[in-house]
Amino acid sequence: MAITARVWTLGKVLLLVGALSATFVLFAVMAARVAVRARDVSVPDLVGKPITEATRLAAQLDLQLNVEELRRPDATVPDGHVLGQEPPAGSFARQQRAVRVWLSAGPRIALVPSLVGESQRTAEIRLAQDGLQIGAVAQVRSALYPPDVVVAQDPAAGTQASTVRLLVNRGEDRTTYVMPDLIGVNGDQAAEVLRTQGFRVSITAQSVATGLPPGLVTRQVPAGGYQVHPGDSIALEVSR
C-alpha cells in the first residue's frame, strides 16, 4: 500500500513538472515571436522622393538603402528621385534589412526622328525605341493623305526633345445613308439607283410570292432603317 502511494505521488510530481515545462516552452516561444515582431518595421513609400530624403526616411526606421548604379530614364520622375523600390511600401521588413531602390535619370533627351508619312503604329514603335514619349495625338480627316498616317509632328525632326506630339489622318469621313425600305419595289430599278450612289448591289435569289408580279423585292439585307455607306454590299431577293 505504501509503494502504491509513493508511485502515485511520484506520478503527480512528474505530471506537474511536465506541465510546468510545457508552460515554460510555450511562454518562451511566444516571447521569441514578440521579440522578433518588435524588430519588424513597415517599409516607407520612397517612390518619387529625392535620394537624400529616401535615405533619411530609411535611417529613421533602422533600414539601409541599396541603390542601383544604373539609372533609368522616365518622363515623369525627375532625375535623382526614386523610381522604384523592393520590398514595396507598406510591407514589413526586419530592422537592419536593406531596401533596394533604383533611381530615375529623368526624361531622356534625344533627336526626334522624321515621322511624317509613317503609319501611327510605326511612329509609336520608333519613338519607343528611341526612348521618347508620345504626347497628344490629334486627328484630322482628309482625302489628301492615306488613313492612319502621320501628317505632322511637333517638334520637328532633328530637334532635341523628350516628348513628341502627332497629327494623324483618319481618312475622309464617309457619307452615311439610311437604308430605304425596298419591299414591293422593282428590284432591277432599285439596284440601278443604288449602284449610281456607289453601293454594291446583287440580286441573290428569287422567291415564289403568290399574288405578286415578278421582279418585286420581297426581302433585303440590310433591312430598311439601317445606316449604310457607299461601297457597302446590299442583297435583294425578288419575286418570280
For residue range 142-195, what is the model confidence (pLDDT) as tens digits? 888 888 999 999 999 999 888 899 999 988 777 788 999 999 999 999 999 999
CA triple 39-45-46, angle to 5 deg: 105
* Nearest-angstrom CA–CA distance, 38 and 32: 10
Average pLDDT over residues 63-89: 90
pLDDT of residue 31: 47
Percent of the chain with pLDDT over 70: 83
Pair (97, 114) in one structural domain: no
Report strand pairing: 217-221 vs 233-239: antiparallel
- Looking at the structure, tell me whether residues 19 and 45 fall in a common domain: no
CA-CA-CA-CA dihedral for 53, 54, 57, 58, to nearest 10: -150
Per the CB < 8 A criterion, the answer to whether 97 and 62 are in contact is no
Residue range of the domain that includes 20: 1-34
Q: Pairing between strand 40-42 and 92-94?
A: antiparallel
Which of 61, 86, 106 marks a domain boundary? 106
State how far the Cα of 150 lies from the Cα of 156, in Å rounded to an integer: 12
Do 64 and 58 contact (CB within 8 A), yes or no? yes
CA 61 – CA 105 distance, rounded (Å):
27
Number of domains in the chain: 4
46-55 tens-digit pLDDT:
999 999 999 9
Q: Long-range contacts made by residues 186-189, C-beta under 8 angstroms, separation at least 24?
A: 186/215, 186/216, 186/217, 187/215, 187/216, 187/217, 187/236, 187/238, 188/215
pLDDT at 17: 54
Q: Please tell me whether residues 184 and 221 are part of one structural domain.
A: yes
Instruction: Supply the CATH number for residue 122's domain.
Output: 3.30.10.20
Task: Classify 68 in phi/psi space as left (phi over 0), alpha (psi -120 to 50) or beta.
Answer: beta
Out of 58, 78, 106, a domain closes at 106
Confidence at 32, pLDDT banded by 50, 70, 90:
very low
Q: Is there a contact between 186 and 213 (Cβ–Cβ < 8 Å)? A: no
| Residues paired with 82 in a beta bridge | 103
Provide the whole-model pTM.
0.39
Residues 67 and 124 in one domain: no
